[in-house]
Chains A and B, each alone.
Chain A
Amino acid sequence: DQQVKQNSPSLSVQEGRISILNCDYTNSMFDYFLWYKKYPAEGPTFLISISSIKDKNEDGRFTVFLNKSAKHLSLHIVPSQPGDSAVYFCAARMGGSARQLTFGSGTQLTVLP
């Protein structure tokens, strides 16, 4: 049973437009959420995170929103650029654990020029 779900395997957007990637989770004990970006043949790289006590965190073109009541988080990229084309993973951490993360299955974002 997947505790972190990314229901859209792929997403295509035009350059300059907004990209919205979604993630749902089932475990209310998760207290920290992260987004990673992965290019082919490379390891994932950390992008942005949010604590469960917040509902929004912004870093440049990237904003993460957390809706705890819906157990839903989203990553907004504005404006989207062709270099943003990658697989995006959301991840969640259980409070009190040895920093273990549970990952979603990923969404392939393609930004079209």
Chain B
Amino acid sequence: AQSVTQPDIHITVSEGASLELRCNYSYGATPYLFWYVQSPGQGLQLLLKYFSGDTLVQGIKGFEAEFKRSQSSFNLRKPSVHWSDAAEYFCAVGLETGRRALTFGSGTRLQVQP
């Protein structure tokens, strides 16, 4: 069965510093990959997605992610973090066959220090 792992439960960075959130997946074929962000008490907002093609994808709010097939990873990056980026970040996988549903990672909580 497919799975998604976000190894970091909680990350703290200083405002202006760079950020990388890790996501690893386990799936036999090429997955469809997503990053969502959730502010406290809110719904999930799509940051970016990867289906095929260029392995470096750009998203909203200055985020980007790189798909690395050899490492089964889809890490999220931002060059300079803003205080408003403090939130919970979820990586998710969609499958072309089988169950029509996203498989979510457990999430990474980002705290931004002034």
The answer to whether A and B belong to the same complex is no
Show the binding face of B for A, using Cβ within 8 Å. none
